[in-house]
Amino acid sequence: MIKYYKLLLLFVFPLYGYAQPLNPWTPPEYFPSKAVLIEWDFNTYTWSLYAELIAECRLATEVILVVRDQAEEDQMRSLLTSEGIPLSGISFVQVPCERMWIRDHGPLAVKTDQGVAFMDFDDLANSGLDENLPTNLANLWGIDSYSLPYVLCGGNFMVDNHNRLFTTTRLYSNNPGYTRAHINQVFEDYMGITEILTFAPQHSDYWGHIDMQIKLLDDTTFVISEVSPGSGANYDSLEANYARLQSLPGPHGKPYRIERLQMADDWKTYANSLILNDRVLVPTYNHILDSTALDAYARLLPDHHIVGINCNKIIGWEGALHCITMQLFDEAQLTSVRNLSIRDNGIHLFPNPLMQGENLCIQFTGEQSLPATVRVLTLQGQVLQSLSWLSGDSFSFSWPHSSGAYILEVSCASGKYSQTVFTE
């Protein structure tokens, strides 16, 4: 009934059936998070995994546990207390719900000129009590929501900070009644996405989600799963997707940095990880390859704390950590961080990209005043380095930071200027 109602609205109202948000923009997962939503279905077999997950998440951000009623909230409080998990940093929200895969039916949060808005798509599972979870949460919290009649699971949705969406071809094949052009326009109008890049779904993945094979760690870095040659049809699809990633120019025309992670037992993926502020939770499987995957994340994200959580209890259901969580961005931090990471005013940097240990030179492109403060920040806004520029037409210093994307900020009496710096 719900899906038919959405389709009816499509014909009653102009365009897509709903007013459009003003200047929408969808933040990437690696930008600051205010909270993470977790919905447990009270399957006691999985509780030990959830207890560890909740304990780790609360160290990075607020944890909001989605429950149906006061009885479930009381039960969760009792379980957490019995595990020795402090309740500080943990809150509860009571709404209709029933399934743990909140990544797929949970809210996709968008920043607009009116504030935060939740997108409420249909997910492939037709999730029963979870079907209207984004709208129910939005109504409860007093924010805007948009209920759209298209099939999209959150596990098949991955964005960067340059309005690019990475997804599998299921985005289009799951919506056969609409043209690609129509769907592309919907994503631009409602989520600010201007480019959609598709990849092949894995043959053994019924849902066809991108988060089971590929993970974007920052604006310039991917990890992608791989399997052994001759191990089945997924070898061909993953090789094709790896080749596609290699062929894509990054946001500033440079190739992406891509790390391949061998799947455990040719199915158990390490790409289904969750980035929460300075913490990265990685699925593990009590497998010899676990340490290799964790080391790779630590090398690629040296400013983050990497934590492995054993997901053997749920991976057979075709999901891991990313699938059972949904982060909500921190609006208070978001605007300043985004402006820093995409602006390019007032300064010229060279070389850019550069290698660790090279000298980075900064020049003003107009009339500015000295002295100035030069800061290097992560994309999340963490200050890594602060220097003083006292005199001279240019300023240079040895760049000590490892591979990745950073924000260089110059502040002086005439204003604040910034540009993204890439380390190869």
pLDDT(10) > 50: no
| Whether residues 360 and 228 fall in one domain | no
Q: Identify whether residues 233 and 352 lie together within a single domain.
A: no
Residue 390 sits in a domain whose CATH number is 2.60.40.1930
Confidence of residue 392 (pLDDT cuts 50, 70, 90): confident
Verify that 19 and 62 share a domain, yes or no.
yes
Is 313 within the bounds of a domain?
yes
Please tell me the predicted confidence (pLDDT) of residue 109.
97
Q: Do 184 and 300 share a domain, yes or no?
A: yes
Cβ neighbours of residue 141 closer than 8 Å, sequence gap 6 or more: none
Instruction: Answer whether residue 200 is part of any domain.
Output: yes
Is the model's pLDDT at 396 over the cut of 60?
Answer: yes
230-240 as b/e: b if 16+ CB within 10 A: eeeebbebbee
The verdict on residue 338 lying in a domain is no
- Identify the domain boundary among 333, 355, 376: 333
The pLDDT of residue 420 is 79
Structure confidence at residue 335 as a pLDDT band (50, 70, 90)? low
Considering the domain architecture, whether residues 263 and 365 belong to the same structural domain is answered as no
Give the mean pLDDT of 276-295.
97
Q: Who wins on pLDDT, 308 or 4? A: 308
Mean pLDDT, rounded, of the chain: 89
pLDDT (tens digit, 9 = 90+) per residue, 140-161?
999 999 999 999 999 999 999 8
**What percentage of the chain has pLDDT greater than the value 70?**
92
Q: Between 253 and 32, where is the model more confident?
A: 32
What number is the average pLDDT over the span 79-96? 97
> For residue 416, is it within any domain?
yes
**What pLDDT does residue 380 have?**
74
pLDDT, tens digit, 9 for 90 and up, residues 171-223: 999 999 999 999 999 999 999 999 999 999 998 888 999 999 999 999 889 99
Q: How many domains does the chain have?
A: 2
Residue 100: which CATH number?
3.75.10.10
Q: How far apart are the first and last CA of the chain?
A: 52
To 10 degrees, what angle do helices 70-82 and 47-57 make? 80
Tell me the pLDDT band of 418, cut-offs 50, 70 and 90: confident
62 found inside a domain: yes
Q: Which of 355, 356, 357, 361 is nearest to 374 (CA)?
A: 361
- Cα torsion 219, 221, 227, 233: sign: positive
Provide the 10 A C-beta neighbour count for residue 334: 19
Average pLDDT, integer, range 398-420: 84
Question: Do residues 165 and 247 both lie within one domain?
Answer: yes
337 pLDDT band, cuts 50/70/90, is: low
Q: Looking at the predicted structure, is the pLDDT value of residue 346 above 90?
A: no
What is the per-residue pLDDT for 344?
A: 45
- In this structure, the answer to whether residues 264 and 401 fall within a common structural domain is no
Identify which of 186, 219, 27 has the alpha carbon closest to the alpha carbon of residue 110. 27
Q: Which domain range does residue 384 map to?
A: 343-423
State which of 302, 333, 364 marks the end of a domain: 333
Q: Which two tokens stand for residue 63?
A: 């944890």
Same domain, 263 and 164: yes
pLDDT at 125: 85
Judgement on whether residues 219 and 352 belong to the same structural domain of the protein: no
Task: Give me the pLDDT at residue 349, please.
Answer: 81
103 pLDDT above the threshold of 60: yes
Predicted confidence at residue 422, as pLDDT, reads: 79
Q: What angle do CA 257, 262, 265 make, to 5 degrees?
A: 160
Name the E strands within 316-358: 326-329, 347-350
Q: With a cut of 90, say whether residue 340 has pLDDT above it.
A: no
Asked whether residue 220 falls in the same domain as residue 281, the answer is: yes
The pLDDT of residue 40 is 98
Mean per-residue pLDDT, 51-61: 97
Same domain membership, residue 145 and residue 97: yes
Which pairing describes strands 305-310 and 279-284: parallel, antiparallel, or unpaired?
parallel
pLDDT band at 342 (very low <50, low <70, confident <90, very high): very low
Q: What is the mean pLDDT of residues 311-329?
A: 97
Q: Which of 78-87, 229-238, 260-269, 365-374 shows the lowest per-residue confidence on average (mean pLDDT)?
A: 365-374
Residues 258 and 373 in one domain: no
CB atoms within 10 A of CB 135: 18
**Is 397 inside any structural domain?**
yes
Q: Which of 287, 308, 333 is the last residue of a domain?
A: 333
